[in-house]
């Protein structure tokens, strides 16, 4: 027996609400990350919906088992403790006053840094097309760029290879990472070269060189 809890999101993977065109979608609106109390992300999303403030709360689906042995599908935040809002300066106080909001993330100084709108839009449009999960922060490793398909242009680090490659994408402002499964042909190595090489082709070339060296010995 399987029970399903769809959570507050309209989509099985992510939740994204469009806000007021007069304010949230104006030319001065910028994307910011807000830090929340634990397990308050969905409740804050509901408050933002009521106030028609555009925001982005990416979720992922996980299956949990109840005491009676039945299973339930639940949706959890992909970036625990954070969600993204598209607001103008005058809306900051209203967002900070929402129950469960602790602060708007700050960079250097007291002015909260705005997030790259292209990166946010790429996540909003492409995450539901990829299999993604939270992943421990990862900094070192072989860097690649997604060159086709969903999340095109985003960069990350390869951590494991099977039939698909798993790429860890990190949002530096949050210092949090997610792992996304991607086919090798959709990746390219971020090595300085006059020619573009796919990650799959690069791996095959490396194996060929190793086999040649072994044969010459």
Four-way CATH pick for 130-217: 2.170.130, 3.30.470, 2.30.30, 1.10.3470: 2.30.30
At 25 the pLDDT is: 56
Q: Got the DSSP string for 128-192?
A: GGSEEEEE----SSEEEEE-SSTTTT-EEEEEEESSSEEEEEEETTTTEEEEEEE-GGGEEE---
Q: Residue 213 has what pLDDT?
A: 36
Architecture of the domain whose range is 1-129: 2-Layer Sandwich (3.30)
C-alpha–C-alpha distance, residues 185 and 159, integer Å? 16
The mean pLDDT values, 10 residues at a time, for the chain of 217 residues are: 38 41 63 97 97 96 86 94 96 96 82 88 92 88 92 90 83 92 91 52 42 38
Where in the chain is CATH 2.30.30?
130-217
Tell me how far apart the alpha carbons of residues 43 and 31 are, in angstroms, rounded to a whole number: 19
Residue range(s) in the chain whose domain bears CATH number 3.30.70.940? 1-129
pLDDT for position 70: 86
Given this model, what pLDDT does residue 164 score?
A: 78
Beta bridge partners of 182: 165
Which tokens is 117 given?
């709108």
pLDDT of residue 168: 95
pTM: 0.75
Annotate 90-110 with DSSP letters as a single string: GGHHHHHTSTTEEEE---SSS
Tell me what pLDDT residue 205 has: 45
Q: What's residue 140's pLDDT?
A: 78
């Amino acid at each position: 027996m399987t029970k399903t809890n769809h959570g507050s999101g309209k989509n099985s993977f992510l939740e994204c609400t469009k806000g007021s065109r007069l304010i949230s979608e104006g030319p001065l609106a910028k994307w910011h990350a807000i830090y929340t109390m634990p397990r308050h992300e969905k409740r804050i999303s509901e408050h933002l919906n009521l106030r028609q403030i555009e925001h982005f709360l990416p979720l992922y689906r996980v299956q949990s088992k109840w005491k009676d042995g039945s299973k339930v599908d639940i949706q959890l935040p992909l970036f625990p403790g954070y969600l993204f809002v598209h607001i103008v300066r005058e809306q900051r106080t209203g967002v900070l006053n929402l129950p469960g909001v602790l602060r708007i993330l700050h960079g250097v100084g007291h002015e909260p840094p705005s997030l790259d709108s292209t990166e946010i839009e790429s996540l909003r449009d492409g995450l539901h097309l990829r299999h993604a999960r939270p992943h421990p922060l990862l900094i070192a490793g072989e860097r690649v760029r997604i060159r086709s398909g969903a999340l095109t242009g985003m960069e990350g680090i390869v951590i494991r290879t099977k039939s698909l490659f798993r790429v860890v994408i990190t949002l530096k402002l949050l210092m949090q990472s997610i792992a996304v499964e991607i086919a090798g042909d959709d990746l390219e190595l971020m090595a300085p070269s006059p020619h573009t090489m796919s990650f799959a082709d690069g791996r095959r070339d490396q194996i060929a060189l190793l086999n040649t060296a072994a044969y010459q010995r």
